[in-house]
Structure 1
């Protein structure tokens, strides 16, 4: 029997400390593959730091976590290879000057260049083009974005997209790489109630397709496995079952991410560092590298 595509995510007493104190601390989580996990809390409470730590982009200071059976922080590079970032301000943002087509083409080229097998690279050009187009179409369909409905179709600039359309595009770009874990920041930011419902419907559909989804928000939807980041200890809930998760006092802002993060790694590297020999001040560059514009 095939194993689930999505990555199970677990954490025990997981914490990250920066130069001005704890971003988060004491996080406990147990989510199965294909789960929708909501990181809920006010801005500045360490939500983005937790998201980046669980996707291998920032090095935790204490505790342990596993993503798809890969241990954090020891196997951060391996976790990065099975996870993908949707919109994360300051890390994986869309370029407002690019069109939808340019973003899609760039991501497909990066995917083929850095993540494709040697056999795939040696295939005839027509086959490679068809395979890339199929990946793009599948990702767009999963994200619920039909470029034909945009003002200028695929030639529409990102600056002309509505907030929900931009979210769908970011999710589609992340899904081109077929990740086991998709991470989305500020899911419900600047969305109306109706748009917020659409956004969560989108992320639920991605989770239902088998990809585990980790989403930062100010208010978690009913039924999601919820981790709350706040100044007091809380308990996370998952529908009818409870999942233990607590968060300590957040004394640093999310803007401090680069001060406590993991160094950049060349995309597509075949070797993996699994020791603590790396420095801790260049991690955000690794996430920037995913866009090809580091």
Structure 2
């Protein structure tokens, strides 16, 4: 294991009786990387992340998070980690400013609460009680609590579940800002567009095993997959799979003498390849 990785596991295992929740998982996340862990419910995502955070003991394998074993976590190590759960929900009567200042007191060298509140876009709500915040604003408060200790590594668990489209995109901008500042981010999400937008790399986990790790553009051979060309011909809609879409479209343009009606050229989406990868495990 090397210091070049924020997270590194070899043969990580967790069992419950005869059930292998995590079964020999090898993973390496570089420092400064945004890594998305994808998988269906029950795939082992949450168990894996909880072992990385030090909240659940492993039954086998090696783990290093920021160079240390999470099972032997110290206060100094925990101060380097930020965790954003799906909801805090315990400070409804406190103002945004009061909650953030309360959490800042847990750290020896916290960020300035006013700066963090501004960074997550809640400066106009700093005096508002947590219970009156919208869903998107509550999520921003959760992130504020996760980053108040200036973490080197931030865990995000389903960060935008329940968000409307505008709130999701605003949250994505916040994550991009954190990543640009050098924070390593590991997120779990069911939104494939979110993973494609934010992640440098994605890992697909199913049945407790890591099936593949790749960039969103190359996962499952997506980057080299045949393109699908759709258009409307003299006798109705037509479709053709081709490895040379530019050449094929040029021929269509020549045949039609110009614009090709309803022309669409596409390769498999991230969702397409993801679903094909997890289907065998779901069918078992």
TM-score range, shorter chain: 0.5 to 0.7
Deviation at 1:103, TM superposition (A): 0.6
Q: Is the 8 A contact 1:7 1:181 kept in 2?
A: no
Write the distance in 2 (CA, Å) between the matches of 1:237 and 1:16.
Answer: 24
Q: Is the 8 A contact 1:9 1:29 kept in 2?
A: yes
Tell me the residue number matched to 2:97: 101
Tell me the residue number matched to 1:289: none
- Equivalent residue in structure 2 for 1:138, among 112, 115, 125: 115
Structure 2: gaps spanning 5 or more residues: 221-276
Aligned runs of 1:102-141 on 2, under 5 Å?
102-111=98-107, 115=108, 135-141=112-118
Q: Is the 8 A contact 2:44 2:207 kept in 1?
A: no
Q: Is the 8 A contact 2:79 2:149 kept in 1?
A: no
Write the distance in 2 (CA, Å) between the matches of 1:239 and 1:61.
Answer: 31
**Matched residue SS, 1:84:** strand
Question: Higher relative CO (CA 8 A, sep ≥ 6), structure 1 or 2?
Answer: 1
TM-score, normalisation: structure 2: 0.65
Structure 1: gaps spanning 5 or more residues: 117-131, 251-294
Deviation at 1:189, TM superposition (A): 1.0
**Bigger Rg, structure 1 or 2:** 2
Instruction: Label 1:216 to 1:175 Cα distance change in 2 as closer, same or farther (>3 A).
Output: same
Deviation at 1:100, TM superposition (A): 1.0
Runs of 4+ in structure 1 over 4 Å off: 239-243
Alignment coverage as a number of residue pairs: 216
TM-score, normalisation: structure 1: 0.63
Aligned runs of 1:167-246 on 2, under 5 Å?
167-220=139-192, 221-222=195-196, 223-231=199-207, 233=209, 234-239=211-216
Write the distance in 1 (CA, Å) between the matches of 2:22 and 2:154.
Answer: 21
Structure that is richer in strand per residue: 2
**Matched residue SS, 1:17:** strand
